[in-house]
Amino acid sequence: MSRVGSVISGARERLGWRKESAEAKEERFYRAGQWQLVWWRFRRHKLAQAAAVVLAIFYIIAAFAEFLSPHDPLYRYKQFAACPPTGIYMRDLSGRFRAPFVYQVVRTRDPETMRPIYKANAEVTAPIKLFVHGSRYRLWGLFDCDLHLFGTEDPETAPLFLLGTDSVGRDVLSRIFFGGRISLTVGLIGVAVSFVLGLILGGISGYFGGAIDEVIQRIIDVLISLPTIPLWMSLAAALPQNWPQLRIYFATTIILSILGWTGLARVVRGKLLSMREEDFVLAARLDGESEWRIITAYMLPGFASYIIVSLTGSLPGMILGETALSFLGIGLRPPTISWGVMLQDAQDIMAVAQLPWVLSPVAFVITAVLMFNFLGDGLRDAADPYAM
Amino acid sequence: MLGNSVLVEIKNLRTYFHLPEGTVRAVDGVDLTVRRGHTLGVVGESGCGKSVTALSLLRLVPSPGRIEGGEILFYRTVEEAGASSALTDVIDLAKLEPNGREMRSIRGNQISMVFQEPMSALIPVRTVGSQITEVITLHQKVSEAEAREIAADMLARVRLPKPRQALDDYPFQLSGGMRQRAVIAMALCCRPKLLIADEPTTALDVTTEAQILDLMRELQKEFGMAIMYITHNLGVIAEMAEMVAVMYLGKVVELTDVRTLFMSPLHPYTRALLKSIPQLTDAVTRGGKKPRLQTIEGMVPDPYSVLPGCTFHPRCPERIPDVCDRVEPGVSEVAPGHSVKCHLYSSP
Amino acid sequence: MASYIVKRIIRMIPQVFLISILAFIIIQLPPGDYLTEHLNRLRQSGRQQDEVEIRRWVQMYGLDRPMYEQYLKWITNIVFRLDFGYTFQWNKSVREVIASRMGYTLAIALFSAVFTWVVALPIGIFVAVKQYSIADYFFTLLGFIGLAVPGFLLAMVVMYVSYTQFGVKVGGLFSVEYQLQPWSWAKFVDLLGHIWIPIVILGINGTAGLIRTMRATMLDELRKQYVLVARAKGLSELKVLLRYPVRIAINPFISTIGWLLPWFFSGGTVVEIVLNLPTAGPALWRALMGQDMYLAGSYILISGTLVAIGSLISDILLAVVDPRVRFGSLEGQ
Ligand SMILES: Nc1ncnc2c1ncn2[C@@H]1O[C@H](COP(=O)(O)OP(=O)(O)OP(=O)(O)O)[C@@H](O)[C@H]1O
Ligand SMILES: [Mg+2]
């Protein structure tokens, strides 16, 4: 990277581009490496920065789901099935202000429909506490622990379900936290796979040219023209039903990246082809550098930022793809928790009408996708070498 | 007497761009006069406001820009049916609605313009013919077929080979020189009283440039139109213009006839500008030893700042301390038809 | 022009060939697919008439032949007899299942495209002309959201809202009473009352995308010299817009025929499932749930081919409106 920077600024000097009287700021601008320029431009994008912060929070939540979620995502509170979100109170019956607390929840049944009805018992209150001891877990499979960031002392009688429970009594919020772990990483791994595939195939295409290039380009043509979700569905449905969860997970990410690499391969090929004509590449060639070194040391760094940006662009599609597939029951299935799997509960609109809070993963999916779009837009503008 | 020969008179025109970073005073008090059938050359460094002046005249200043003040008087002849003499009426273009009916009826009709980048003046997806006939049918009461006739005729006048065929060609099928001829034909086909040519030949090679310049002079004689010729090429000015306005930072600093400009320039900026022309004879007489070109010292100040006094004083070799950097010079008429905006020549 | 079209059609042939190979691979993919299972069951029973049955299947799909022969057999059956194979999930030929449903899918896709154009064209122009206005920010935001919310989630929300707020169960293409009736005017009207929901839901995504493309191209074009030249001719602002920048910005609209189709097939599949429409998507889903791959392969093949035809059409239209494409010279711009 710094090499390209110095080659370019060298060229500038030779061509006399750098004005003698250029101010220090301009000087700094020419000297700055590619990444620094990208960073400077990115800092002007307030929306993209906000999106980056939101996404960082999302990933932190996914990473520390065990600690941050108040309940075990698989534990079924049989007495609290289909329980609406718990109300949080600051003022008790006598009108005194207190630290946030919840009331004890009692279940009755509607005499006609036999549906459970949950009522607060104003007699018994339970404060919401930080760092409470609750269900046991192994954080990252390493540390045994039972500490949760927040919750109530006795969830069996006075529970805290911020987003309610699903039809079998599992805490929706905790499931969303854990689901993020799958839903948000499927895209990352998918992008990593796309990255490798796109770099290799695009590189081959751009480097060798000729017949190989032609074949790869035609394959890309075909893959791009195919309807994505039916193809994903077909491939995911072909996965053996008896595979373990983890293997299904990885297989799904690979399926999702099967189309993702095409765009990147096009970019890499196009850039390789156009950069061959650039002066600094010619200069390097005249200096007797090997072709491989020219590609890896001179050309690749020149558009690495561009690659990463074009990859952020394909993340939202993969997140949505996982959601759609899991929602349809193809690919990831329970007991794996992902946002799409959670939405399976929402397939029947009559059921949703009874417990609308099971739709809350929708908000998380959309937020994540929206934020990735904002971030991608900001990065694209920042990395565009023709901006300014 | 003089009043009748004046076509356009610009008085104290100010056009500013209000940007978030500050206000760009692109045109800041310009005075100009264009006389019927004559050519006014406008010269000056890049960014001095030549194009913006021209766009202001046509009321085509792009969005953050606005005409802040001044007058653009257009002495229009109204040909009355039956009457032998033409009447003149005056309208202030600066007061018109930029996209109103009246301004639009003048644009492309009585005042037309050939722009700086000829290559992109025509849209690639429509035929050359349709883009030319459009302006004819807009301003003249003629049928589509007649408009085609006029267009073909005009293309022949600008010596486009095979003009009839060119009507059905797309712009990218013509060479650069041919395209520029077509653009000129497009500007001329309503026989304007004033043609504004904004560096119409910069993108062309020298031979084509010479041809186009010849052509414009010829057509000027034929149609009796005035030309406002914008360029930073003093050689072209010498060839084309009768009167010359020298612009610096949004102001006209010297206005004179072309002979005086080259023989006895007065404003320090004009003199510096003339010294910066490469002289063929210099290079030859010095036996191949290339002389250094004189450049004007210093940089053009950044466009947002407002300088006190004369805007040229930071670069001026003849500045008078405590005067030039504080008091803005007025315009002094040193001889009939020769005015300078400089303290060196202001009468005490 | 003619040579351009011929060249373009010739380029389509390898594309469709590759699609067919991909579809065939999909059919062969699952180790425990329906046909293998079925044959295993028949073999285990060991009855005489099952042996005949087995031989019939093996014969029909050339299961005893090498892979490329199986492929040839499969593709010739499709090309010459429109025989796409058999779906066990439905107990019908794939052709029967798809024929009755693909029509609706296509109709929804086409009308969604029309919806998209009709809405996106004026908004795209307006937003570009009024860059940085409140309307611009509003539609930009709306566009972002429209792009981020996939159709099926939108469909779920629409269903939820209409059910809880209006007591209306959105879904299907017909009311119950018309479902099995033959076509009549009343049935058609009933269809119109239902079909607009998937059309709008699908259209919103495309619209958001297209407004963004339109805005970007328009902004690009508005900066071009010829717009100023057109204004200098004395044309009114509306004519300047319509005859110049819009003439070029319209191109992406025409290219959209090429990419809207795969988009609608893609997003449409899940929307159709959520809305429970009698279209190809839900049929595909049901078949896939039972790893009944013939239908899936055929779906990929048919939709891929339709998309290839769609992009052929849009390329031809593009050549009609843009002479640069027609004369093979794009270097001008
Ligand atoms: N659309 C615009 N927005 C903001 N500033 C502008 C715009 N157009 C022109 N300017 C500013 O107005 C000033 C004068 O520009 P103008 O185009 O008239 O220069 P010019 O004399 O024609 O130069 P050139 O010889 O390069 O054509 C410049 O400082 C320029 O930055
Ligand atoms: Mg200019």
Output the residue whose Cα is nearest ligand 1's atom 24.
B46
CA distance A371 to chain C (A): 9
Contacts 24+ apart (CB under 8 A), B158-161: B158/B182, B158/B184, B158/B185, B158/B188, B158/B215, B158/B219, B159/B211, B159/B215, B160/B185
Q: Which partners does chain B have (≥3 C-beta pairs < 8 Å)?
A: C
Residue B74's H or E segment, with its range, is strand B65-78
Across the interface, do C289 and A228 touch by the CB < 8 Å criterion?
A: no
Q: What is the residue-averaged pLDDT of chain B?
A: 84
Segment C135-148 shows an average pLDDT of 82
Tokens representing residue B347 in the block: 């009468």
| CA pair distance A213, B58, nearest whole angstrom | 53
Closest chain C CA to residue B100: C236
Q: Under CATH, what is the fold of the domain A188-383?
A: MetI-like fold (1.10.3720)
Which of B113, B121, B125 is closest, CB to CB, to C322? B125
pLDDT, mean of residues B289-311: 67
**pLDDT given at position B289:** 53
Indicate yes or no: CB of A227 within 8 angstroms of CB of C304: yes
Is the CB of residue C151 less than 8 Å from the CB of residue C164? no
* Side chain identity, residue A189: I
B108–C247 CB contact, under 8 Å: no
Give the per-residue pLDDT at C188.
Answer: 79
Which alpha helices (DSSP H) does C223-236 contain, by range?
225-232
pLDDT tens digits for range A211-233: 888 888 888 888 877 888 888 88
Please indicate whether residue B301, judged by its CB atom, sits closer than 6 Å to ligand 1. no
pLDDT over threshold 70, residue A236 = yes
Return the H-helix or E-strand segment holding B17. Answer: strand B6-19
- pLDDT-derived band at B3, boundaries 50, 70, 90: very low
Give the gap in angstroms from C-alpha C103 to the nearest C-alpha of chain A: 17
Regarding beta strands B39-43 and B111-114, do their DSSP bridges make them parallel or antiparallel, or are they unpaired? unpaired
pLDDT at residue C333 in the model: 33
Contact A69, A163 (CB under 8 A): no
- Is the predicted pLDDT of residue A30 greater than 90, yes or no? no
CB-ligand 1 contact for B52 (6 Å cutoff): yes
What is the residue with the minimal CA distance to atom 26 of ligand 1? B46
Indicate the pLDDT class of residue B195, thresholds 50, 70 and 90.
Answer: very high
Nearest residue (by CA) to ligand 1, atom 22, is B51
Q: Is the pLDDT of residue B81 over 70?
A: no
What rounded mean pLDDT belongs to chain A? 76
* Domain ranges, ordered by start, for chain C: 101-279
Distance from the alpha carbon of residue B50 to the mean position of ligand 2, in angstroms: 6
The answer, yes or no, to whether residue B228 has pLDDT greater than 90, is: yes
B39: nearest Cα among B200, B153, B180, B156: B200
Report the separation in Å between the CA atom of B244 and the middle of ligand 1, taken as the mean of its atom positions: 20
Does B26 sit in the ligand 1 pocket, CB within 6 Å? yes
CA of C239 to the centre of ligand 2 (A): 26
Res B146: pLDDT:
92
Confidence of residue A96 (pLDDT cuts 50, 70, 90): confident
Over residues A246-271, the mean pLDDT reads 81
Model's pTM, two decimal places?
0.76
Residue environment code for A35-63, b if the CB has 16+ CB neighbours within 10 A, otherwise e: eebbeebbeebeebeebbebbeebbebbb
pLDDT at C331: 38
Contact, B226 vs B22, CB < 8 A? Answer: no
pLDDT the model gives residue B227: 93
A324-334 pLDDT, tens digit each: 888 888 878 78
In this predicted structure, the answer to whether residue A4 has a pLDDT above a threshold of 50 is no
Boundaries of every domain in chain A? 66-171, 188-383
What pLDDT, on a 0 to 100 scale, did the predictor assign at position B56?
Answer: 93
CB contact under 8 A, B115 and C333: no
Tokens of A359: 């739709």
Give the pLDDT mean for B132-152: 91
Better pLDDT: A280 or C101: C101
Calculate helix-pair angle for A300-327, A172-208, nearest 10 degrees: 140
Q: Does A11 have pLDDT greater than 50?
A: no
Per-residue pLDDT for B85 more than 60?
no
Neighbours of chain A (3+ CB pairs under 8 A): C
Residues above pLDDT 70, as percent of chain C: 89
pLDDT band at A165 (very low <50, low <70, confident <90, very high): confident
pLDDT digits (tens, 9 = 90+) for C246-272: 888 887 777 766 667 777 777 788 888
> Which tokens go with C21?
């190979």
Q: Which of C129, C151, C150, C133 is nearest to C141 (CA)?
A: C133
Q: How far is the CA of C257 from the centre of ligand 2 (A)?
A: 41
CATH superfamily label, C101-279: MetI-like (1.10.3720.10)
Q: Are strands B243-248 and B39-43 parallel, antiparallel or unpaired?
A: parallel
Q: Residue A7's pLDDT is what?
A: 37
Among the ranges given (A134-143, A234-243, B266-275), the one the predictor scored with the smallest mean pLDDT = A134-143
Ligand 1 atom with the shortest distance to the CA of B64:
3
Q: Is A194 a residue whose pLDDT tops 50? A: yes
Q: Calculate how close chain C gets to B62, using CA atoms only, in Å.
A: 9
Q: What is the CA(B61)–ligand 1 centre distance, in A?
A: 10
- Token reading at B196: 């504004």
Structure tokens at A185: 């990483």
C143 Cα to chain B: minimum distance (Å): 25
Tally the C-alpha atoms within 13 A of residue A322's C-alpha that lie toward its C-beta.
36
Could you give the domains of chain B? 1-100+233-348 (3.40.50.300)
Residues from chain C contacting residue A374 (CB–CB below 8 Å): 144
- Asked if pLDDT for residue A2 goes beyond 50, the answer is no
C232 touching B, CB under 8 A?
A: yes
Question: Which residue is associated with the tokens 């928790």?
Answer: A337
Residue of B121, B126, B139 lying closest to C234 (CB–CB)? B139
Between CA B286 and CA B290 the distance in angstroms is 7
Q: What is the mean pLDDT of residues A166-193?
A: 86
Q: Is B245 in the pocket of ligand 1 (CB under 6 A)?
A: no
Weakest-pLDDT range from A126-130, B11-15, C315-319:
A126-130
